[in-house]
Each structure stands twice: as structure tokens, then as C-alpha cells.
């Protein structure tokens, strides 16, 4: 086991109707709130109105229109400007992972005099950040319980994940009923996202019975409950369990003491999204089985066997290589079964920029340190196999 230093201070308030506690939580901060959200779905489900009603008496400045794969320009820059102009005390992020990720960059940028990009690229370490409270409306990224955000800069094809312990949300409101209206495509993308978070942490060294079991339970639960959410979008129990699973995705608890895996699928997918602005969870679903195929070897075989037997219930008495190949096939088949397009061409990506993306990933993502190191030709091979 590796040494670790772990802390998750975020308060999770979970369940139907918990938003009634919002005024109590917000009372700990000042009266000037930056309300961040996306394309307006929170108005359709009445959540926007409810928040304004609960926060009567607060001075609320709005930053709407945060996009999926949230953009540095205009969202982060505009948010930082608003915080500074209005002397904002606290950010209330209402939406999914993109709104939260963007709000994290704003929270740090608001307390920094220079260009916020310095913080995102880790050139400068943030010294402070505004507190963030969030009300989650999409189960997927785990941003509600971690320190990370991913920000895209279109002009340079950068999609950068950054993190700082200052950026743990102070409090996350997790009401599964807010995810009832999430459509089939986004629900499936969320399942794939959370499954990939787990897989990224499962395939590594120095794993434990405990972590392996936790990851395997996550994957089984996400498949069972994810499918129920797709079949019946208002199945509270399934939406709730899926939401809880997603929450554990990225705060490290699935891999305490494991060797750092390098999160290779994320590294590759970030380039896909940066170049083509595709749905993150779809990109991960497409890459994952091809990456698995690439890393399967004598050295990694036992990991695949454990994964296949414990996650998919493949007969443990079969030949190890057969189990491993079946496990990869099952992974692919599950994503396909929830209607995720499983080829890059289906999401508008052809071979024209494969070389450029492979080079970008190899130069920027440090995958020579991954569980199975990936150099530029390896990355290209995975991308080509995904076409």
C-alpha cells in the first residue's frame, strides 16, 4: 500500500426535499451570491424559482449559460469579473459537473489578481478561493465531492483538469428528484463517466481487497441502477443510488493506498473533447474498451480476470485470457446497450486530426507514468481503434 494524505470536508445533504436546508447553509456566508447555471433546465424543473424564493433577501448576481465542457472564455472570465465587481461572498452552483467545474475555476480566480489561467495550468498555486455551495442536477462527474475541475480553451484545443483542496464544495445538495428530467443521452453519459472513473482507479498496482471490492460494487451498482434510470427516469431509488455512486467517483476514496494510475482514458478523452467538443461520458465509453484491449498483457491479465469475474460474473473456471477478453467485450456491450455510439466517426471525429491529437496527448498528459505507460504511437493506436 502507498502512503496517502486524504480529506473530504464537503458536507453532503442528500435526499428528496433537502433543499429546504439551503437558507441554513447559506447563512454561514455573506449576502452576495453568484448564482451559476447552464442552459436553463433548472428553470424548466422549477429549481431556479425555488432557489430565488429560498434566498429572498440575498443579493444575487447571475452567471447563466455555462456550457458542457465549460469554457474559459467567456464563462470563467465573466464569472471572475462578476465576483470582483460585486464583491461576491459565495458561489451557488446549480447544475451538473460542468457548472460546478466552471464555478471552481471562478472561485479561485476571484481571489487572484492575475490571469486565472495561471491557476488552471498550475503555474501559480491558489492562496484562497470563494466558498462554493452546489445543488446538483446531474449524476456523473463527482465534482460535487472533489477538488477537481476541467476547463476548456477552444482557441488552443486545451482541456485541462486541475485541482486544489481549496475547491472542495463546502456543501453539496444532492436531491435525486432533480435528475428525473435528465434525458436518456445524458443519463447514459453519466453512467459511463462514473463507470470510467471507477475503472481508471481499479486498473493499477498496489490495490487492496477493500478498494477492489468497493470499485466492483460501484460498477455493478452503476450498471444495474443506471439501466433502471434509463427504463424509468422517475425511479427514485435507482436515481438515488446512481447519484451516490457518482459522488464517490473522483475524491480518491476508491483508491486510497493504490498506486496512481494516471487516468489514461481521461487524458485521451480530454483531447477528443477539446478538439471536437463531444460529450465527455461518450468519449470515455468509446475509449475505455480500446484502451483495455491495448493494455491487456501477461502483466495485466490477473486484473482483467478479477474485473471480469467480480463485475460481470464471468465463470472463474474459464481460461484467464478468455475471461479477460470476455470482460472487455462485456464492457463494450454494456455501453452499446445503453445507446452510446461506440465509434468516434459516429460523434463526428474522423482520422484527419488523429496524429495531432495523439501528439497533443503525448506531450501534455504524462501518460508515460500511467499504469501501463502510453507513448505517442500507443495513444494513436488506441485512437485509431476507436474510429
Nearest to a second copy of 56, 209 (CB atom): 209
Piece of 78-86, 127-135, 209-217, 375-383 that binds a second copy (CB under 8 A): 209-217
Residues 145-204 interacting with a second copy (rule: CB under 8 A) = 176
CB of 165 to a second copy, least distance (A): 10
CB of 8 to a second copy, least distance (A): 6
How many residues lie near a second copy (CB under 8 A)? 42
Nearest to a second copy of 218, 383 (CB atom): 218
x/- mask, a second copy, residues 240-269, rule CB under 8 A, reads xx--xx-------x--xx------------
Task: Give phi and psi for 353, each to the nearest 5.
Answer: -115, 15
Torsion of CA 74, 10, 193, 76, to 10 degrees: 10
Q: Which of 27, 122, 224, 333 binds a second copy (CB under 8 A)?
A: 224
Nearest to a second copy of 200, 216 (CB atom): 216
d(CA 216, CA 305): 12
Residues 3-22 interacting with a second copy (rule: CB under 8 A) = 3-18, 21
Q: Which of 2, 49, 156, 183 binds a second copy (CB under 8 A)?
A: 2
Torsion of CA 33, 34, 40, 45, to 10 degrees: -30
91: part of which helix (H) or strand (E)?
strand 90-95
d(CA 164, CA 119): 9
**Rule CB under 8 A: is residue 75 a binding residue for a second copy?**
no
**Rule CB under 8 A: is residue 216 a binding residue for a second copy?**
yes
Nearest to a second copy of 116, 252 (CB atom): 252
Q: Which residues contact 312 (CB under 8 A, 6 or more apart)?
A: 326, 327, 330
CB of 248 to a second copy, least distance (A): 8
d(CA 345, CA 351): 9
CB of 133 to a second copy, least distance (A): 13
Q: Which of 113, 209, 352, 363 binds a second copy (CB under 8 A)?
A: 209
Nearest to a second copy of 193, 216 (CB atom): 216
Cβ–Cβ under 8 Å, residues 128 and 86 = no
**Rule CB under 8 A: is residue 57 a binding residue for a second copy?**
no
Please write down the long-range contacts of 352-357, taking CB distance under 8 Å and 24 or more positions apart.
353/275, 354/380, 354/383, 354/384, 354/387, 355/380, 356/275, 357/271, 357/272, 357/275, 357/383
Q: Which of 137, 177, 225, 331 binds a second copy (CB under 8 A)?
A: 225
Grid cell digits, residue 324: 479477460
Grid cell digits, residue 34: 453568484
Q: Which of 156, 183, 208, 337 binds a second copy (CB under 8 A)?
A: 208
Piece of 89-97, 102-110, 113-121, 210-218 that binds a second copy (CB under 8 A): 210-218
Nearest to a second copy of 21, 359 (CB atom): 21
Grid cell digits, residue 55: 434566498
**DSSP one-letter code for 179:** G
CB of 328 to a second copy, least distance (A): 22
Smallest CA-to-CA distance from 242 within 211, 295, 281, 205 is with 281
d(CA 324, CA 313): 12
Interacting residue ranges for a second copy, rule: CB under 8 A:
1-18, 21, 176, 208-210, 212-214, 216-218, 220-221, 224-225, 236-237, 240-241, 244-245, 253, 256-257
Amino acid at each position: 500500500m502507498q502512503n496517502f494524505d486524504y480529506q473530504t470536508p464537503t458536507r453532503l445533504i442528500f435526499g428528496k426535499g433537502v433543499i429546504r436546508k439551503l437558507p441554513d447553509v447559506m447563512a454561514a456566508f455573506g449576502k452576495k451570491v453568484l448564482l451559476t447555471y447552464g442552459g436553463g433546465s433548472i428553470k424548466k424543473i422549477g429549481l431556479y424559482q425555488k432557489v430565488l424564493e429560498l434566498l429572498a433577501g440575498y443579493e444575487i448576481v447571475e452567471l447563466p449559460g455555462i456550457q458542457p465542457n465549460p469554457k474559459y472564455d467567456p464563462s470563467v472570465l465573466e464569472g471572475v469579473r462578476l465576483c470582483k465587481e460585486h464583491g461576491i461572498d459565495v458561489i451557488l452552483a446549480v447544475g451538473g459537473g460542468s457548472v460546478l467545474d466552471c464555478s471552481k475555476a471562478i472561485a479561485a480566480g476571484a481571489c487572484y489578481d492575475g490571469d486565472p489561467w495561471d491557476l488552471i495550468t498550475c503555474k501559480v498555486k491558489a492562496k484562497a478561493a470563494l466558498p462554493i455551495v452546489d445543488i446538483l442536477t446531474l449524476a456523473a462527474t463527482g465534482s460535487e465531492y472533489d477538488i477537481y475541475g476541467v476547463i476548456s480553451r477552444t482557441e488552443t484545443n486545451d482541456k485541462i483538469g486541475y485541482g486544489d483542496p481549496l475547491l472542495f464544495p463546502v456543501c453539496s445538495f444532492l436531491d435525486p428528484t432533480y435528475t428525473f428530467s435528465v434525458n436518456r443521452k445524458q443519463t447514459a453519459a453519466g453512467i459511463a463517466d462514473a463507470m470510467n472513473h471507477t475503472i481508471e482507479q481499479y486498473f493499477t498496482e498496489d490495490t487492496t481487497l477493500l478498494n477492489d471490492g468497493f470499485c466492483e460494487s460501484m460498477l455493478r451498482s452503476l450498471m444495474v441502477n443506471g439501466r433502471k434510470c434509463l427504463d424509468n427516469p422517475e425511479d427514485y431509488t435507482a436515481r438515488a443510488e446512481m447519484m451516490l455512486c457518482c459522488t464517490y467517483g473522483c475524491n480518491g476514496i476508491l483508491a486510497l493506498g493504490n498506486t496512481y494510475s494516471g487516468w489514461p482514458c481521461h487524458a485521451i478523452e480530454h483531447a477528443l473533447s477539446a478538439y471536437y467538443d463531444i460529450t465527455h461520458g461518450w468519449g470515455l465509453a468509446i475509449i475505455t474498451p480500446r484502451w483495455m484491449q491495448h493494455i491487456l498483457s501477461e502483466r495485466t491479465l490477473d486484473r482483467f480476470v478479477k474485473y471480469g469475474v467480480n463485475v460481470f460474473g464471468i465463470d472463474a473456471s474459464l481460461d484467464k485470457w478468455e475471461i479477460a477478453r470476455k470482460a472487455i467485450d462485456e464492457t463494450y456491450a454494456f455501453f452499446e446497450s445503453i445507446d452510446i455510439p461506440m465509434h468516434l466517426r459516429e460523434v463526428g471525429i474522423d482520422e484527419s486530426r488523429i496524429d495531432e491529437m495523439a501528439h497533443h496527448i503525448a506531450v501534455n498528459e504524462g501518460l508515460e507514468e500511467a499504469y501501463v505507460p502510453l507513448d505517442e504511437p500507443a495513444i494513436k493506436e488506441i485512437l485509431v481503434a476507436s474510429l
